């Protein structure tokens, strides 16, 4: 019997050792499998990070292109708006400039009617002149005040010179031949004046 037990015991020990080796082998295989999975996951993470970086770069480039395009569009819109306003301003200036001879004629008529006894003609001419000038002033027309002012080439055009005795009147506008006008802060027509020397 003891012989039988001796034979069983080494078999059990062998099986135990075999099981132990099988467990270790399984652990080794599992570690190897886990290591491969971990390596595969790391590669996937690196690939995803690379793709994320590429997409982030593409989105940044697209955003820059979009912002540049919007800035160009805003510049275009502003420029066309300014050009449209300038065109309207130029058209208005040309229209008003065409009406200046009518104002001049009204001024001459008022000057000629001063000595007349026809009150209706005086009143009518003054009324027409006042309404026309008033309307043009609402459009930005301003009269350049010249008589008695210091001669200024920015606003006046000297058409004649007159000798004056008073020292204070030298270099001053002595008389206005044709009224000057400004539109929107710019000279539309220079005042033609006689300057004292």
Q: Can you give the pTM of this predicted structure?
A: 0.59
Phi first, then psi: give them for residue 142, nearest 5 degrees. Answer: -130, 140
The domain limits of the chain are: 2-139, 141-197
Q: Check residue 1 and give its pLDDT.
A: 47
Is 176 buried (19+), middle (13-18) or exposed (0-12) by CB count in 10 A? buried
Q: Which residues of 51-77 are buried (b: 16+ CB within 10 A; e: fewer)?
A: eeeeeeeeeeeeeeeeeeeeeeeeeee
Q: Compute CA 188 distance to the chain's CA centroid, rounded to the nearest angstrom.
A: 28
Residues in the chain, pLDDT under 50: 1
Q: Check residue 14 and give its pLDDT.
A: 60
Is 156 buried (19+), middle (13-18) or exposed (0-12) by CB count in 10 A? buried
Contact assessment for residue 139 and residue 156, using Cβ atoms and an 8 Å cutoff: no
Is 146 buried (19+), middle (13-18) or exposed (0-12) by CB count in 10 A? buried
Pick the CATH number of 141-197 from 2.30.22.10, 3.30.70.920, 3.40.50.720, 3.40.1500.10: 2.30.22.10
The dihedral built from the CA positions of residue 182, 186, 191 and 195, taken in this order, carries a sign that is: positive
Among 75, 90, 95, smallest CA distance to 136 is for 95
In the sheet that 180-183 helps form, which strands lie side by side, from edge to edge? 141-144, 180-183, 186-189
């Amino acid at each position: 019997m003891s012989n039988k037990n001796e034979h069983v015991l080494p078999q059990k020990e062998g099986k135990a050792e075999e099981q132990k080796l099988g467990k270790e082998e399984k652990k080794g295989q599992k570690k190897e499998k886990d290591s491969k999975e971990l390596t595969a996951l790391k590669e996937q993470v690196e690939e995803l990070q690379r793709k994320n970086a590429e997409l982030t770069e593409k989105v940044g480039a697209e955003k820059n292109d979009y912002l540049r395009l919007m800035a160009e569009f805003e510049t275009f819109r502003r420029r066309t708006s300014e050009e449209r306003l300038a065109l309207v301003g130029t058209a208005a200036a040309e229209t008003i400039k065409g009406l200046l001879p009518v104002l001049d004629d009204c001024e001459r008529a008022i000057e000629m009617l001063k000595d007349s006894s026809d009150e209706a003609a005086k009143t009518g001419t003054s009324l027409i002149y006042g309404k026309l000038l008033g309307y043009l002033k609402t459009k930005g027309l301003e009269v350049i005040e010249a008589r008695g002012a210091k001669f200024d080439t920015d606003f006046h055009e000297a058409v004649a010179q007159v000798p004056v005795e008073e020292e204070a009147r030298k270099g001053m506008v002595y008389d206005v031949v044709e009224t000057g006008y400004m539109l929107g802060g710019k000279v539309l027509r220079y005042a033609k004046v006689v300057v004292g020397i």
